[in-house]
Amino acid sequence: MANLKVRVPPTAARGQIIEVFALAVHPMESGFRLDNVGKVIPRHIIETFTCTYAGKEVFRAKLHPAITANPYFAFHLVASESAELVFAWRDDKGTTGEERAFLTVT
């Protein structure tokens, strides 16, 4: 799916702290905006964003309307083993986005 883009270094030394980036493609409609006839545009936001590494959750964000459209997160991980990272989001309509990346630890 193209609704989540991630950047993870392909390799890292064991114990190294790496920075990872994730960008979800989503309008993050705040529910406070009006359309051109003055009607409130209903809220439509991502509520949770998670990252798991080797099957363990290592990062979680709970989002509110004050996060911009196309939410962006950068955070860090300790490269402990060669494993898959799974990034995922879920919005208030139940729509989900997911992207995976493999980190090889040398």
Partner 1 sequence: MGSATPDGRGLISRRRLLQASGAALTMLHVRPVFATPENLAAAIKRAFGSQRIQPGRVKIDIPQIAENGNVVPISINVESPMSVDDYVKRIHLFSEHNPLPDIVEFDLGPDNGKARVSTRIRLAKSQHVLVVAALNDDTLWSAQALIEVTVSGCG
82 makes contact with partner 1 (CB under 8 A): no
Shortest reach from residue 22's CB to partner 1, in Å: 10
Which listed residue (3, 25, 78, 105) binds partner 1 by CB under 8 A?
A: 78
Q: Tell the residue number behind the tokens 């790496």, with chain if given.
A: 18
67 makes contact with partner 1 (CB under 8 A): yes
Q: Please tell me the count of residues contacting partner 1 according to CB under 8 A.
A: 27
14 makes contact with partner 1 (CB under 8 A): no
CB 93 within 8 A of CB 68: no
38: tokens are 């003055």
Residues 37 and 51: their CA atoms lie apart, in Å, by 40
Distances (CA, A) of 3 to 39, 56, 71: 28, 22, 11
17 makes contact with partner 1 (CB under 8 A): yes
97 makes contact with partner 1 (CB under 8 A): no
